[in-house]
Amino acid sequence: MEKYVVDASALVDIHNHFRGKFRKLKALVESGCVKIPEGVLRELRRTTDKLSKTLERWVENFPHCIVQIDRVHNLASELVRVERQYGERIQVGVNERPGFWTSPSGRKAADGQVVAVTKILKCTAVSDDYAVRLACMLEGIPCIGWTEFVRQIGSNSNQLRLFE
């Protein structure tokens, strides 16, 4: 079964567009198909109310959905490498693009965690963030936007249909 690492903006977008159906995503979280880096959880605790409450219930009931950096072999060192390489700027061929830390969250951004967790756990990243998508491309990591994520999990008969 495909596994996904979801960033904060993807969770917010899914929540905002499918409020009544968002709870169905819970089955994917429960089954271990959806992982949320601890930094993403921290970001969402600071910025959202209703979504934050849903995530707190998930953490309580399915603690395995939260990826803690210090509990996964090689993840801390991979995070350091990823942030060093893509934090300030991202070099794509001859072009230089803004890195993870140019967002309003600055160095508190969880973008590096999304990339590092996805790479170490061999998952697919779910993000529409330009810096995350570039870093994933350069690292050879699959990365899809939230709309493609919804399409994939909604059309796969082996997984929960999000739009039932």
- Fold of the domain spanning 4-155: Rossmann fold (3.40.50)
DSSP code at position 154: H
Give the angle subtended at the CA of 23 by the CAs of 17 and 27, to the nearest 5°: 125
Q: For position 152, what pLDDT does the model report?
A: 84
DSSP code at position 107: G
Which residues are registered as beta bridge partners of 156? none
Q: Is 153 exposed, middle or buried (0-12, 13-18, 19+ CB in 10 A)?
A: buried
Q: Whole-prediction pTM value?
A: 0.89
Q: Mean pLDDT for each 10-residue chunk of the chain (164 residues)?
A: 93 83 79 95 84 90 94 95 95 94 76 97 96 97 95 63 47
Domain ranges of the chain: 4-155
